[in-house]
Structure 1
Amino acid sequence: MNIKILADSASDLSENHYKSYDIEMVPLTVHMDDEEYKDAIDIKPKTVYDAMREGKSPKTSQASPESFKTIFTSYAESKQPLVYLAFSSELSGTYQTAKMMEQEIKETYPDAELHVIDTKCASIGYGLTVLRAAQLANDGAGVEKIIETATYHAKHMEHIFTVDDLEYLYRGGRVSKTAAFVGSFLKIKPILHVEDGKLIPLEKIRGTKKLHSRMLEIMEERGKDFSNQTIGISHGDDYDTAKKLADAIEAKFNPDDILIEMVGATIGAHAGPGTIAIFFLNNDYK
């Protein structure tokens, strides 16, 4: 019996990915207009971005304990091993909730093969890690091999991204009010990255053309060998910019493949429209 891979909606993978790789998904929650929506099930990212452009401030919350309890119980009862690769614990309480439910289920099913892993990753950086694990699972790899490889990919996954408006990060508590005001006033665009699961400001650039050139420079500085990698690009409802960046990456680095996806509703509610992110390994592909 093959290992089952579970991810949450913050991986920003498409429905086609989940079906093609036989991955199960647990949704985080989006709150908007006094309503609750299951991310990627009841609400699409475009809806969230359009609402934000109209001045609305959607909120998000972690995946529910009940969702994990249902999923974990199902796999415990069927005696099928399950590996849940979680959205960064520094950005959501989803991982902690899953660990709590794992322990609860194992009290009833002590032999259940449930494994909960904190990837410390987000968006397509997280999604690429999930896809690698799913490839191994579909090839019949064991739990140890899957966890070891996924952990390696997560550890070495770079997240280099920028946002169009610092106001959204300010609302989410990621930057100060002063930084948001000054950035918007001076048309300064931030470059951020993820370090040990946290969003960390890296540089400030004035001008979009310089911004994207600098992102490619950082990619070159931090990357090692792109020839057998899939490079990830995610965007906040700005496919044209993502495609231009993909073309530049293709010409400069000639990677094995490039995956472009829209930033999902959960992360997009904090990053905002116009977000652009690049994801790649800073070490050898495994």
Structure 2
Amino acid sequence: MAVVVVTDSSCGLEPEVAEGLGIRVVPLHVLVDGLDLREGVDEMPANLFVGAGITTSGASPGELTDAYAQALEDSDGDGVVAVHISRQLSGTWDAGRQASQELGEKVRIVDSRSTAMALGYAVLAAARVARAGGSLRAVYERAVEVADRGRVLIMVDRLDHLRRGGRIGTAAALFGTALAMKPVLHLVDGKLVLREKTRTVTKALGRLVDGAVELAATGTKELPGTASRDVAVAVHHVHAAERAEQVAADLRERMPDVGEFVVAELGPVVASHLGPGAVGVLVVPGGSDLPSSFDGGTE
């Protein structure tokens, strides 16, 4: 058979894309009004962001053990590579580590140190290597490589949702909301931290575009043999389609030959921590396409 790639529902991949590459997606959980809802499986309430009672939880060790065990069986022993949301943002990676210990060395876990399509592009890259006949080691190394290149910038309307969910420090949250700033955040070593403060949405969105262009250019220069087209980009949003489309249009104008480009709304797990109005941009210099030099690798 072939190595099977597993991820979680924060990855941002459309179901048909995941299915087409044989990627297994384990749902994360949204806890609201006493209900435990599985992202990507159960219907979410239309008023998800009303009130302060929303919480989220990662996949459990039991859920991941079942998913990994089935994937390992389906691989005919070739192995499983599980690529998950940053351990700084969710307990899913740690649950996956526990699950993998029960199943042995044929199951390998990757901390993407990110989420959404920054995770999704690493998953796609790993799945493409698996489909091309890559070994367990080759699939694992490709996932790690692409995940390491991902860079994420996020603008939120307010930091309240992040503060409630514990995803950013209380002091930073209070400072940002007190001055009515529009903060731009980024992921550093898998942790969401303040990058800069702007005074208006327009300026914040402009900084997302500027930052993404700079990151793409810098990252491409550091990768021998790559060009500007060898970049994967994604624009995400939470109930802010017009903002996202404007950001996407600006990015396409400034990076017209980008190879991979996705515009999509964030799933409810990540969205519940960012809140309505949020827009995120991620770039992966080098992209996620299978390298032309790939030869399948050896174990």
> What's the TM-score once normalised by structure 2's chain length?
0.86
Change (3 A) 1:195 1:31: same
Paired residues for 1:15-94 under 5 Å: 15-44=15-44, 47=45, 50-52=47-49, 54-77=50-73, 78-94=76-92
Distance 1:72 1:178 in 2: 40
* Number of aligned positions between the proteins: 277
Aligned AA (2:139) = I
CA contact under 8 A between 1:5 and 1:23: conserved in structure 2?
yes
1:149 maps to what in 2? 142
Question: Does residue 1:223 correspond to 2:216, yes or no?
Answer: yes
Deviation of the 1:282 alpha carbon: 4.5
Change (3 A) 1:177 1:86: closer
Distance 1:283 1:229 in 2: 5
Distance 1:62 1:175 in 2: 18
Higher helix fraction (1 or 2): 1
Distance 1:194 1:140 in 2: 32
Deviates more, 1:112-121 or 1:151-160: 112-121
- What is the CA deviation profile of residues 84-142 of structure 1, one whole-angstrom value per residue up to 9, with x for unaligned ones? 01111111111111111111123xxxxx6211111111111111111111122222222
Deviation of the 1:207 alpha carbon: 0.9
Aligned AA (1:97) = A
**Greater RCO (CA < 8 Å, at least 6 residues apart):** 1
List runs of 5+ in structure 1 lacking aligned partners.
107-111
Deviation of the 1:182 alpha carbon: 4.7
Deviation of the 1:74 alpha carbon: 2.3
- What is the CA deviation profile of residues 241-264 of structure 1, one whole-angstrom value per residue up to 9, with x for unaligned ones? 111111110000111231012111
1:280 maps to what in 2? 283
Aligned AA (1:206) = R
CA contact under 8 A between 2:153 and 2:187: conserved in structure 1?
yes
CA contact under 8 A between 2:12 and 2:120: conserved in structure 1?
yes
Distance 1:133 1:93 in 2: 22
SS at match of 1:84: strand
SS at match of 2:140: helix
1:268 maps to what in 2? 271
Distance 1:74 1:182 in 2: 47
SS at match of 1:223: helix
CA contact under 8 A between 1:164 and 1:273: conserved in structure 2?
yes
Q: Identity rate of aligned residues, in percent?
A: 26
Change (3 A) 1:58 1:160: same
> What's the TM-score once normalised by structure 1's chain length?
0.90
Aligned AA (2:283) = F
Distance 1:238 1:16 in 2: 24
Which of residues 154, 177, 183 is equivalent to 1:190?
183
List runs of 5+ in structure 2 lacking aligned partners.
221-227, 292-299
Deviates more, 1:95-104 or 1:64-73: 64-73
Deviation of the 1:143 alpha carbon: 2.0
1:109 maps to what in 2? none
CA contact under 8 A between 2:21 and 2:128: conserved in structure 1?
yes
Distance 1:284 1:170 in 2: 32
- What is the CA deviation profile of residues 177-231 of structure 1, one whole-angstrom value per residue up to 9, with x for unaligned ones? 5644553353311111111111111000011111111112212322224412221
Deviation of the 1:176 alpha carbon: 4.9
Paired residues for 1:109-258 under 5 Å: 113-177=106-170, 179-224=172-217, 225=220, 226-254=228-256, 255-258=258-261
Deviation of the 1:173 alpha carbon: 2.1
Aligned AA (1:140) = G
Distance 1:21 1:160 in 2: 28
CA contact under 8 A between 2:33 and 2:53: conserved in structure 1?
no
Distance 2:23 2:168 in 1: 34
Deviates more, 1:63-72 or 1:91-100: 63-72
Deviation of the 1:273 alpha carbon: 1.2
Distance 1:170 1:16 in 2: 34
Distance 1:152 1:105 in 2: 24
Distance 1:20 1:61 in 2: 27
Deviation of the 1:79 alpha carbon: 2.1
The Cα RMSD (Å) is 2.0
Deviation of the 1:278 alpha carbon: 0.6
